[in-house]
Structure 1
């Protein structure tokens, strides 16, 4: 009897073991299906990693360049049910077909989210510069009418990325981020750095990368766009605070040719009384192309850099400076890195040592790109940037060509060996590594000055490195301006909040002929520039820059003239909004929010906004409707890219003579999302949402609407961001719904906020009782305001002033 019982126990155990088609691991499960090892790892209840690789490989491991989150001890269940493996956490339901290995994702409440396609995983053997690996491919099935967003920044008109194909590889005006999110509230990050094809059509949504030892991606569920972005930043790093001065107005040009010229620009702004916080020095302060990116003032026109920087600081402005990802053969950096095999042999900018066009290739520049994947190379890079620039008082970095520039790319170029393998294998992570190198080193050098980097390219995770990405060397055209809005929104929806474009477009040579004026006196360019600066007022960075046509405000005329006054008005509006913008930046850092917000982020239930590509929210209260069609002049489409632009092959401008009256009234249509009441910012006129309206416009205004319940602080009139304390703010309240706003303040330019040195003052509007409560001040920091005045203004014009000493105050209307 004992033997029979023992046999039955053994048989039951064997049957049980045979039925279990998976192995439970510390963070998930592992199984084998359809010839592939499939592993699911919970990084949190709402984030999972999916790994697949052919059974012939014994194991797979990778230290991600983007992901900084470690898998947490997440409570989950795993069981089998009718040939399916079912995993469940507090946020996700995951189903794996035990036969095919296909995975289906749903929310814990049962909402279907995303499915892999049957037989949608493919591996094709590939020899990567002598290393046996694979082309890797994974396809998914989306709902037919399901919009998706993200994939980085691309100069296209579409906001919704359905029915799109992209070759995801870093370029001058393309920032490849292998991430998308859905209006259903999930996101997917494809953790691969090689050139990747993204395809969405009626058959599939897929990623196909040139190099990969495994399919390796992260699925996350946030419930809405903000939740997905929060997941993506939890996974790849949160965005630190920028200094307050970075949110003021920035003037730049390709390029200021002497230290006297750049200092005099700042002086002129101060003389005119036009606010300015930053000036930028572009290339060639180092001299000739053989000294490319020497990171030192070797040009005789910059003979006293110490005095130049002191003069700019003495005018209460900040200066950032151009540094590149490549070095000329006569630089110290080149010589030190070359000895250690840290330079690539790919065609890059500039190609000739002589500054002529076209490049005289009889005298090649010898400029070579460095290897930022190598930690020692990053050390060398910082050593010189610090000694010659940062130690002299430079306030931040303009890291140009962080793609890097790669002309006439050949397959053998991708065989180039980096510290982490072939260039092909890690190509798209180049900006992440080079920007991260500067951030990490400056943080180690000092905590007294926040890192600020302006850069031309980005990859997943770059938000953690104190970098603002601009959209590259764009053409100066209305078509380009229109495309900047969806480009910036999709970049933001990829989890990276800091973005801007060259105000006016970069290549503006087409406006130097015809129509009664050249450059900034040409009405064709004047109208485009004004509309672009109005759009730029509502970007994370407001920066005027370009070539061929100088953009300083005084180039466009003088006070009392419509173009000058329109530019001046919006620069001053930017400064009035600084308390709102800086508080929004705290929301970005502390609560994973976004500056530029596609309308679906706040109004997902209104399907009409799902693909609106010419309006957005700036912060959570202000609806911005930039005017992106010419209204006063004939619209000239100038089609140009970075290569034809530098070749000076700009399209010709419209030479037709046109009488332009910039004082006349025009109109523009605006859609107001449903679910709230809206107020016209300029008139306080009230509108119900869910309708399109026609708004009268002028050259010095664009439609701006404020959401009911919004509370917006307005700062004093200033010449630079920190000129006056915020001790007498106007607090504008827009009734019609309950609302809340938190005013954030700190020391404005150090990392003490990370140690808790900041204050928050919460404003709460009760619509039923028409009462504004100013809560007790939270926190403290050195030099904070102990007493202040707030002037509360309702949209109706009612106004009450209160003194506030940090204790709860109630204002009743």
Structure 2
């Protein structure tokens, strides 16, 4: 194989007069047999293209949707260097060796390419001549970087990592990272890619490309970088209010009576619930895989099931996949246009026995989501079979997609956009986007809501919440979810969740007297702590196999585990006004739900690589309990990639555990602010580690000084009551603002300006709270309401609360507290 290593130092000094030409977005130059084009998409986003001279490189990005702006750009040459300067960014191209450097507009260094860091190696991609490409950069020695997707490695900073990026069940890859220095880099390639960071260089290497294509963006801080990534790849729509309530699921409800019965039981118990999810096989056997129809006789009256759920004031998601069984109508239609792949996928056998009986292969095949006609067919069947029944949203499983029994020739599979190898990692973007775009085209009354197992850059624009796959039920797995969610959020994709309790939980059934892991204290403790963490993620969803997850499986009211589960769910509902208002800031101001502490406290070196705490929204510091305190930790192993691992390591059973005893854990409070314990209102100065008292019933939470925190009513579902008589907590010690956002909760009228906001502003020196005049309106809006104002006041080491109740009619109000 002939290799072209374009070391750009070899040519010596060339004439500078013809080395570059200006374009409408930047410049293009030829250096050492390499074409280099620098395009300014905005004053702080730059695209870099490189390809071998004599070749062509034309590419339509699947992720980037931004149209380049007209940028005021100064181009100047200083010796061998060409300087392109906007008001935010300076890009420097060395015309002798092709090296590119990125700087602030004032010349302060941000990131440098490594000299001779671009390589192109000839590659035969299923008969198409192309290249394997690589680009290396040089980072500062102690420079933390974040992102790369959902990673199960337990790390926040991804320095000193080598990661093979091919979408799979539990690792969702986004070829993007951002630095604590306030810049981000998006490597726009969809083929199998290796990210490698060593002491010498940081690089992306991709198997297939006609050229190098990456975007550099400068935001000044993490929020600015997230804003740049969304500006480039798409903004985040609003989700319905009900999606922020509690969701119950399991693998799987085997009849419509069972599913509806779960919702009824929650209503009888008075435990809040907003959603129920129906997993696979409502369609029948594996040959009918993903038929998008209720062919299983246990679901004989599906419309009644949907209506019953709605009459109970709950919502229903249903499982759909990226593959189809050979007996389905979809299979035949897609096969007729050549839109099915011949790769191994789940389920492998038509028999439902375990292990799979390969004497009876299922014949299930993945569809070509890159093909627009195939996406049309997919939606046509989904629309007629399920959306027409008023189902509320989609659980899009296996969107990576499942790729089992891998053969190298699988990557040669032809897709609409070339080989499967060429576009492999963008599959989730295409299949999720296909459903989202089609639903938006036919309905403005129901917001798109998709729960998906995989993602790629740009997926935030599709109304999708990504979960972290079929992870194991273990403390180690729980610990890994915090940095997994934070790094994913730092890629600009804010909606993330995990299977509360972990998916594979079979080991907790063993050595337990009634065969139910829900009565096993080892699983009970893990589940409660995971549920408490889940209350502070963008979607609170209980799900898994082997061990049932419904609250009544864990005991009854008055017992510590039951009460802890109920209280975690009710805490979530009390925060709905805060959550929904945060959701608006995510959509309108490019904010983020799960905020790594480095986003807000980058000057505190102790948080630069902190993987066990985070901010939820702008005010709440969350420090989940992620180590067993009452029971021994059980090591659980499972192979998520090959499917259902029934051979889990045998768990230990314990006879009695006193879950009523208090425990403690260490919590670090970032410097630069004062913090208040959410439960006791005790005040702490930041920049210290404290010993926090915990119980099975509480998760350590701390509120930042200057926060204004709205707490909602006690409800059974999100839309049960309008937000009258909200409790508004003001935490003194700093100035602060909070904007309460409201709209119709589940349509797209908010995009037309049909919504309302009320801004609360706290002046700490004057001890004055100002409530603004209401801005905007929407049908059904409260014209007047009560606010119960409470100030959490620093007084020595403890805090006292003073309160006032006011009637608010939409006019500005100022209160001395």
TM class by smaller structure: over 0.9
2:307 & 2:258 partners in 1: Cα distance? Answer: 15
Asked whether 1:457 is paired with 2:454, we answer yes
Report the alpha carbon displacement of residue 744 of structure 1 after superposing the two structures with TM: 0.2
Cα shift readout 1:278-314 (whole Å, capped 9, x = no counterpart): 0000000000000000000000000000100000000
1:339 & 1:559 partners in 2: Cα distance? Answer: 56
Indicate the residue corresponding to 2:358 in structure 1: 361
Which of the residues 64, 89, 93 maps onto 1:92? 89
Report the alpha carbon displacement of residue 439 of structure 1 after superposing the two structures with TM: 0.3
Q: How does 1:329-344 map to 2 (within 5 A)?
A: 329-344=326-341
Indicate the residue corresponding to 1:479 in structure 2: 476
Asked whether 1:157 is paired with 2:154, we answer yes
Q: How does 1:393-792 map to 2 (within 5 A)?
A: 393-514=390-511, 518-643=516-641, 646-655=644-653, 657-792=654-789
Secondary structure (helix, strand or coil) at the match of 1:646 reads coil
Indicate the residue corresponding to 1:6 in structure 2: none
Which of the residues 805, 814, 817 maps onto 1:810? 814
Cα shift readout 1:392-428 (whole Å, capped 9, x = no counterpart): 0100000000000001222211111100110000000
Indicate the residue corresponding to 1:113 in structure 2: 110
- Does the CA-based 8 Å contact 1:140-1:204 persist in structure 2? yes
Report the alpha carbon displacement of residue 339 of structure 1 after superposing the two structures with TM: 1.0
Report the alpha carbon displacement of residue 20 of structure 1 after superposing the two structures with TM: 5.1
Indicate the residue corresponding to 1:799 in structure 2: 803
- Does the CA-based 8 Å contact 1:514-1:522 persist in structure 2? no
Indicate the residue corresponding to 1:199 in structure 2: 196
Q: How does 1:32-71 map to 2 (within 5 A)?
A: 32-57=30-55, 59-71=56-68
- Does the CA-based 8 Å contact 1:515-1:523 persist in structure 2? no
Cα shift readout 1:15-67 (whole Å, capped 9, x = no counterpart): 9985353100000000111220110000000000000001121x321110000
- Does the CA-based 8 Å contact 2:595-2:617 persist in structure 1? yes
1:578 & 1:216 partners in 2: Cα distance? Answer: 41
* Structure 2 residue ranges without an equivalent (≥5): 1-12, 793-799
1:514 & 1:105 partners in 2: Cα distance? Answer: 60
- Does the CA-based 8 Å contact 2:404-2:642 persist in structure 1? no
Asked whether 1:166 is paired with 2:163, we answer yes
Report the alpha carbon displacement of residue 110 of structure 1 after superposing the two structures with TM: 2.4
Secondary structure (helix, strand or coil) at the match of 1:270 reads helix
Indicate the residue corresponding to 1:9 in structure 2: none
Report the alpha carbon displacement of residue 360 of structure 1 after superposing the two structures with TM: 0.8
Report the alpha carbon displacement of residue 514 of structure 1 after superposing the two structures with TM: 2.2
1:358 & 1:17 partners in 2: Cα distance? Answer: 69
Indicate the residue corresponding to 1:3 in structure 2: none
Asked whether 1:262 is paired with 2:259, we answer yes
2:733 & 2:694 partners in 1: Cα distance? Answer: 25
1:521 & 1:156 partners in 2: Cα distance? Answer: 30
Report the alpha carbon displacement of residue 645 of structure 1 after superposing the two structures with TM: 5.8
2:512 & 2:128 partners in 1: Cα distance? Answer: 60
Is the alpha carbon distance of 1:331 and 1:16 closer, same or farther for their aligned partners in structure 2, counting shifts above 3 Å? closer
Indicate the residue corresponding to 1:140 in structure 2: 137
Report the alpha carbon displacement of residue 710 of structure 1 after superposing the two structures with TM: 0.3
Cα shift readout 1:555-601 (whole Å, capped 9, x = no counterpart): 00000000000000010000000000000000000001110000000
2:513 & 2:605 partners in 1: Cα distance? Answer: 45
Secondary structure (helix, strand or coil) at the match of 1:742 reads strand
Report the alpha carbon displacement of residue 647 of structure 1 after superposing the two structures with TM: 3.1
How many residue pairs get aligned? The number is 797
2:179 & 2:87 partners in 1: Cα distance? Answer: 20
Cα shift readout 1:543-563 (whole Å, capped 9, x = no counterpart): 000000010000000000000
Indicate the residue corresponding to 1:209 in structure 2: 206
Indicate the residue corresponding to 2:221 in structure 1: 224
Report the alpha carbon displacement of residue 109 of structure 1 after superposing the two structures with TM: 2.4
2:348 & 2:656 partners in 1: Cα distance? Answer: 44
1:18 & 1:177 partners in 2: Cα distance? Answer: 38
Indicate the residue corresponding to 2:184 in structure 1: 187
Which of the residues 291, 303, 308 maps onto 1:306? 303
- Does the CA-based 8 Å contact 2:14-2:96 persist in structure 1? no
1:142 & 1:791 partners in 2: Cα distance? Answer: 51
Secondary structure (helix, strand or coil) at the match of 2:493 reads coil
- Does the CA-based 8 Å contact 1:507-1:645 persist in structure 2? no
Cα shift readout 1:670-708 (whole Å, capped 9, x = no counterpart): 000000000000000000000000011100011100000
1:423 & 1:396 partners in 2: Cα distance? Answer: 28
- Does the CA-based 8 Å contact 1:20-1:80 persist in structure 2? no
- Does the CA-based 8 Å contact 1:644-1:650 persist in structure 2? no
TM-score, normalization: structure 2?
0.97
Report the alpha carbon displacement of residue 768 of structure 1 after superposing the two structures with TM: 0.5
Compute the RMSD of aligned alpha carbons: 1.1
Secondary structure (helix, strand or coil) at the match of 1:479 reads helix
- Does the CA-based 8 Å contact 1:537-1:570 persist in structure 2? yes
Indicate the residue corresponding to 2:347 in structure 1: 350
Is the alpha carbon distance of 1:350 and 1:644 closer, same or farther for their aligned partners in structure 2, counting shifts above 3 Å? closer
Indicate the residue corresponding to 1:292 in structure 2: 289
Report the alpha carbon displacement of residue 80 of structure 1 after superposing the two structures with TM: 1.2
Indicate the residue corresponding to 1:12 in structure 2: none
1:213 & 1:70 partners in 2: Cα distance? Answer: 22
1:480 & 1:398 partners in 2: Cα distance? Answer: 22
Cα shift readout 1:707-754 (whole Å, capped 9, x = no counterpart): 000001000000000001101100011000000000000000000000
Secondary structure (helix, strand or coil) at the match of 1:642 reads coil
Secondary structure (helix, strand or coil) at the match of 1:350 reads coil
Secondary structure (helix, strand or coil) at the match of 2:107 reads coil
Q: How does 1:119-138 map to 2 (within 5 A)?
A: 119-138=116-135
Secondary structure (helix, strand or coil) at the match of 2:805 reads strand
1:811 & 1:246 partners in 2: Cα distance? Answer: 34
Indicate the residue corresponding to 1:8 in structure 2: none
- Does the CA-based 8 Å contact 2:561-2:696 persist in structure 1? yes
- Does the CA-based 8 Å contact 1:740-1:762 persist in structure 2? yes
- Does the CA-based 8 Å contact 2:744-2:779 persist in structure 1? yes
TM-score, normalization: structure 1?
0.97
2:298 & 2:236 partners in 1: Cα distance? Answer: 38
